[in-house]
Amino acid sequence: MSSILTNNSAMVALQTLKSINKDLSMTQSEISTGKSVASAKDNSAVWAISKVMESDVKGFKAISDSLSLGEASVSVARNASESITDLLTDMKGKIVAAQEDNVDRGKINDDVSALKDQIASVVAAAQFNGLNLVNGNTASTNVLSSLDRDATGGVTASSIAVAGQNLSTGAYVARDVFTLTTGTAAAGGDSFGVSLDAAGGSDTITIDDTALVAGDSISMRFGDTEISYTVTVEDVASTTTADVVALGLKAAIEANTTDIEVDYDAGTPGDIVITNNQADSVSVSAQVTNANAGGLGTLAAIAVSTAVGAAAALGSIETLINTAIDASASFGSVEGRIQTQGEFISGLTDSLKSGIGSMVDANMEEVSARLQALQTQQQLGVQSLSIANQAPQTLLSLFR
């Protein structure tokens, strides 16, 4: 039945055209934004996930900057400690040369003093953005390294701890601790170097407690073996501090050496007798380090202008070199860790971006093909609606 009141064909054509126009609008939106999920109304679940991941990407970019800053700071400290190691090695060469009697120890001592000044300069200059990890003012610092999200959505920050290395050269105060029977302590009485003959060579060392304070340490080297003893509050409070320190050194020597005999002389306060029972002679050296002194605090006491000072310096320089090497190794290890974490964060950020893109980005090839099809359908829909609108007019021919 035909009707001039109800045009079913036109209604069908109109609904079809509306559907086509709606799809065409969505397709054009995807083309203009480049996203298939541009807002929460497009797909609320996917949109919510993508926004959380986008916020993580922003956070990881900040972490990447933090790691770059931390790596630069540690790199400066590592280069400084490596330079100090090289300077101390050069100084060792000077000290070894000063062991020979037929040399001008005064000129060698001038070279050693110049190297001391250079080391102090390196320590003072080794800062990045105001952070100096080698001058003893920074015990440790943290470098932001990651954001960790748990299953409930909670976020916590992780950091890489960087320990400062005290390579400062200050805080040396002469204590005048050592007196020897056959050997001679260096100027100031805080270091000495002697050689004990094979199979029975000995020397008596007297510890003077007059100026020792809690925290002062005494280190001794027997060939390649090093021992140390740190003065405690109880030691200083004792009425027989010299005896207590002497006994502490005796215990430390016996615990770390097998061919060095140590006798405590109860008759004279602070006396220990060391005897070499090895088949070869052994060099023995010692150095006092002040409480709270920098890692290179004993550098100030090194002087090679005399034979005694040169012998004492030979033992002290090994400890200083090992301190600088340990600092370099520590900085190198943490710098490598920061660098690895930076590479991981960079890769993780790329993966997150890729994941977000796979969820919300529009497939432009597919969208392009769909646009062409919808434009064709739109043209046909308009023509179909036009034909349907003309249908009632054909009824006029029935009344002619």
Question: Tens of pLDDT along 58-74?
Answer: 888 989 999 999 999 99
pLDDT at residue 79 above 90? yes
Q: For the chain, which residues make up each domain, given as ranges?
A: 47-169+327-352, 178-292
Residue 254: Cβ within 10 Å count: 13
- In the chain, what are the helix, strand and coil shares in percent, each to the nearest 5? 55, 20, 30
* Rounded distance between C-alpha atoms, residue 189 and residue 206, angstroms: 11
Residue 86 has what pLDDT? Answer: 95
Question: Of 287, 280, 289, which is closest to residue 311 (Cα–Cα)?
Answer: 287
CATH no., domain 47-169+327-352:
1.20.1330.10
- In contact, 278 and 198? CB cutoff 8 Å: yes
What does the pLDDT read at residue 191? 83
Question: Closest by alpha carbon to 133, among 65, 66, 75?
Answer: 75
Q: pLDDT, tens digit, for every residue of 348-378?
A: 898 888 888 888 888 888 888 888 888 888 8
- What pLDDT, on the 0 to 100 scale, is given for residue 90? 94
Per-residue pLDDT tens digits for 300-358: 778 888 888 888 888 788 888 988 999 999 999 999 999 999 999 999 898 888 888 88
With pLDDT > 70 as the criterion, what percentage of the chain qualifies? Answer: 98
Identify the band that residue 170 occupies on the pLDDT scale cut at 50, 70 and 90: confident
Question: Residue 187 — very low, low, confident or very high, per pLDDT cuts 50/70/90?
Answer: low
- Residue 285's nearest CA partner among 329, 368, 227 is 227
3-class DSSP state of 150: coil
Assess contact for 323 and 299: CB atoms under 8 A: no
Q: Please check whether residue 189 is in contact with residue 195, taking contact to mean a CB–CB distance below 8 angstroms.
A: no
pTM: 0.71
Which of these ranges, 77-86, 289-298, 368-377, has the smallest mean pLDDT? 289-298
Q: What is the pLDDT of residue 266?
A: 66
HSE-CB at 393 with a 13 A cutoff on CA atoms is 6
Task: Kindly report, residue by residue over 123-164, the tens digit of the pLDDT.
Answer: 989 999 889 999 888 888 999 988 888 777 788 888 999 998
pLDDT of residue 264: 82
Average pLDDT, the chain: 86
What pLDDT does 174 receive?
Answer: 79
pLDDT tens sequence across 6-60: 888 888 888 988 988 888 888 888 788 778 888 888 788 888 888 888 888 888 8
The pLDDT, as a whole number, for residue 297 is 79
DSSP, collapsed to helix, strand or coil, labels residue 218 as strand
Top pLDDT among 98 and 269 is at 98
pLDDT value at residue 226: 84
* Helices 307-360 + 44-97 axis angle, to 10: 170
Using the 8-state DSSP alphabet, how is residue 181 labeled? S
State the pLDDT at residue 138.
Answer: 85
Predicted confidence at residue 111, as pLDDT, reads 93
299 DSSP 8-state letter: G
Residue 263 has pLDDT above 80, yes or no: yes
